[in-house]
Amino acid sequence: MSDTPSHEPGKSIMPKWVRGPQDFIGGIALMAVAVFALWASSDLQGMHGFSFGAGTAPWMFATLLLGLGAAVAVMGLVQDGAAMQAFSWRGPLFVSLAILCFAVSIRPLGLIVSGLASFLISALGTPETRWIETIIVGVLLTIGCALLFPYVLGLPMPLFPSFIAQ
């Protein structure tokens, strides 16, 4: 997967000859993904005769992406384009943490603990959260999900922490 590079928001760290930083960086990042994919699929068998090996299609698409990424980057050089947009950290950080928390804790701790914890963590993503109402809504939502998914929809998932359920 591509690492999502985060750049300093707003500040023009780009040299003057980059006329469209948004496209320039975007293109470079795509090229990086392509190079990474080429490396990752380099151990796969290529064409033998006229039949495709496992690595042929990945090689084709990655090469194509490399070219297109380069083209996008070049467009960022020759054409005046949009500046970098500001990236904020609070929303992405806490939403990611909430997702991570859910993924890590659903098996050992069960839906009720894990769901509520993720709810509260993601609520940190905005400074506008009012905690009392957030906690009330979080508890209600967790109860709702605990009834909806395992019982109404019949999807198997642990509800309670495994050390209690045992």
Partner 1 sequence: MADLFHNLILGFGVAVSPTNLMLCLIGALVGTLVGVLPGIGTIATVAMLLPITFGLPPVGALIMLAGIYYGAQYGGSTTSILVNIPGEATSVVTTLDGFQMAKQGRAGPALAIAAIGSFIAGCAATVLIAVLGAPLTKLALAFGPAEYFSLMVLGLIFAVVLAKGSVLKAIAMIVLGLLLSMVGSDIETGASRMSFNIPELADGLGFATVAMGVFGFAEIIRNLDAGASMDRDLVQQKITGLMPTKKDMMDSLPAIGRGTVLGSILGILPGGGAVIASFAADTTEKKISKNPEKFGRGAIEGVAAPESANNAAAQTSFIPLLTLGIPPNAVMALMVGAMTIHGIVPGPQVMQKQPDLVWGMIASMWIGNLMLIIINLPMVGIWVRLLRVPYRLMFPSIVVFCAIGIYSINNAPVDVILAGAFGLLGYWLIKHDFEPAPLLLGMVLGPLMEENLRRALLISRGDWSVFITRPLSAVLIAAAVGLLVLAVLPALRKKRDEVFVESEG
d(CA 83, CA 23): 9
Residue 104 vs 164, nearer CB to partner 1: 104
Nearest approach in angstroms of CB 86 to partner 1 is: 8
- Cβ neighbours of residue 68 closer than 8 Å, sequence gap 6 or more: 30
Q: Which residue has the tokens 């957030």?
A: 134
Measured distance CA(132)–CA(134) in Å, rounded:
5
Smallest distance from partner 1 to CB 75, Å: 7
Q: Shortest approach of partner 1 to residue 105 CB, angstroms?
A: 9
Q: Which is nearer to partner 1, 45 or 164 (CB)?
A: 45
The CB-of-33 to partner 1 minimum distance in angstroms stands at 7
CA distance 22 to 85: 8
Q: Which is nearer to partner 1, 88 or 164 (CB)?
A: 88
Phi, psi of 5 (to 5 degrees): -70, 135
Q: Which is nearer to partner 1, 64 or 164 (CB)?
A: 64
